[in-house]
């Protein structure tokens, strides 16, 4: 893997190159190369997701001191969704470096975007572990927060999940939560059923090929029961 080119693109030089390689190793790659010495990137993706949410939350909190929690939450959701992260990934040329199976490499559209977004989160997790808090924060500011102006201008944060959250916080004073109900199919062809909950009550379910897609579908179905009041 020509890591030097990617490091130049993102302005980060790794001390531990294995962390960078791990961040770019999709689960499917290990099926074709079972003797690959490194694990797939899902643990780093888990860490990077949390790190990314923290930095975006902190930035929005400082930028909008008068905005309520609900608006900050929907802005954060718009900035860390898979479409934005996939766009950032393409901007830094990440797709050239992700190691995945031949079958996955042929995927286009939403499946490809999800792979790119997950690799972005794994990359952030790797930067955090290798270069520390400040480097991961700088990376987030440079590549993710720069999309805020577009999000505000296009109001792309007004998706089903955002709309539902605003409605329910206004009417019921609580925040909807999401949880996996079922997860079926092989690793590279998962179908998720997600539930949206108000407190302990299951309100609606949704399906999708990613958790994000299934959550959006569940939120859309819940909005049918709790439309915004005119």
CATH number, residue 164 = 3.30.160.20
Does residue 3 carry a pLDDT above 90? no
Identify the active-site residue in 104, 121, 163, 213.
121
pLDDT digits (tens, 9 = 90+) for 92-118: 999 999 999 887 777 767 778 889 999
pLDDT of residue 210: 82
**Closest to 20 in 3D by CA, of 188, 147, 135:** 135
User: For residue 219, what are its two tokens?
Assistant: 């939120």
pLDDT of residue 156: 67
DSSP tally for the chain: helices H, then strands E: 12, 3
Q: Is 77 exposed, middle or buried (0-12, 13-18, 19+ CB in 10 A)?
A: buried
Does residue 229 carry a pLDDT above 80? no
Confidence of residue 2 (pLDDT cuts 50, 70, 90): low
pLDDT digits (tens, 9 = 90+) for 172-222: 999 999 999 999 877 767 789 999 999 999 999 998 878 888 998 899 899
Assess whether 148 and 166 both reside in one domain.
Answer: no
Q: Which residue has the tokens 């900050």?
A: 72
Strands, E assignment, the chain: 177-184, 191-198, 201-208
Last residue of a domain, one of 154, 185, 208: 154
Last residue of a domain, one of 154, 176, 207: 154
Does residue 1 carry a pLDDT above 60? no
Confidence of residue 74 (pLDDT cuts 50, 70, 90): confident
Does residue 24 carry a pLDDT above 90? yes
What's the CATH number where 61 sits? Answer: 1.10.1520.10
Confidence of residue 121 (pLDDT cuts 50, 70, 90): very high
Assess whether 184 and 205 both reside in one domain.
Answer: yes
Residues in the chain: 230
Assess whether 127 and 178 both reside in one domain.
Answer: no
Residue 130 in any domain: the answer is: yes
Q: Residue 101 in contact with residue 31, Cβ under 8 Å?
A: yes
Last residue of a domain, one of 138, 154, 170: 154
Strands, E assignment, 39-152: none
Identify the active-site residue in 22, 49, 59, 163.
49
Percent of the chain clearing pLDDT 90 (strictly above)? 64
Does residue 136 carry a pLDDT above 90? yes
Residue 228 in any domain: the answer is: no
Rounded average pLDDT over 11-38: 94
Q: Which residue has the higher pLDDT, 187 or 62?
A: 62
Q: 23: domain range?
A: 3-154
Residue 230 in any domain: the answer is: no
Does residue 230 carry a pLDDT above 60? no
Active site residue 49: yes
Assess whether 36 and 126 both reside in one domain.
Answer: yes
Assess whether 95 and 167 both reside in one domain.
Answer: no
Active site residue 121: yes
The mean predicted confidence, pLDDT, of the chain is 90
Assess whether 124 and 185 both reside in one domain.
Answer: no
Residue 229 in any domain: the answer is: no
Backbone phi, psi, residue 154, to 5°: -90, -10
Residue 131 in any domain: the answer is: yes
Percent of the chain clearing pLDDT 70 (strictly above)? 94
Measured distance CA(52)–CA(130) in Å, rounded: 15
pLDDT of residue 71: 85
Residue 122 in any domain: the answer is: yes
Map residue 98 onto helix, strand or coil: coil
Q: Which residue has the tokens 């309100």?
A: 203
Q: Residue 185 in contact with residue 191, Cβ under 8 Å?
A: yes
What's the number of domains the chain is made of?
2
């Amino acid at each position: 893997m020509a890591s030097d080119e990617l490091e130049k693109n993102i302005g980060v030089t790794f001390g531990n190159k294995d962390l960078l390689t791990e961040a770019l190793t999709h689960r499917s790659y290990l099926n074709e190369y079972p003797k690959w010495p490194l694990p797939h990137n899902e643990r780093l993706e888990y860490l990077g997701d949390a790190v990314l949410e923290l930095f975006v939350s902190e930035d929005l909190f400082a930028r909008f001191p008068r905005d309520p929690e609900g608006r900050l939450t929907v802005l954060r959701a718009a900035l860390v969704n898979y479409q934005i992260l996939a766009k950032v990934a393409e901007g830094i040329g990440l797709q050239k470096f992700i190691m995945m199976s031949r079958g996955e490499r042929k995927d286009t559209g939403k499946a490809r975007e999800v792979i790119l977004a997950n690799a972005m989160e794994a990359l952030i997790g790797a930067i955090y572990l290798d270069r520390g808090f400040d480097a991961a924060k700088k990376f987030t500011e440079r590549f993710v927060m720069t999309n805020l102006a577009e999000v505000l201008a296009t109001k792309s944060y007004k998706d089903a999940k955002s709309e539902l959250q605003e409605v329910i916080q206004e009417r019921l004073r609580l925040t909807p939560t999401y949880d996996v109900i079922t997860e079926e199919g092989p690793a590279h062809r998962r179908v998720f059923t997600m539930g949206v909950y108000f407190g302990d009550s299951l309100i609606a379910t949704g399906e999708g090929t990613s958790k994000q897609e299934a959550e959006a579908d569940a939120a859309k179905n819940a909005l049918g029961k709790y439309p915004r009041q005119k």
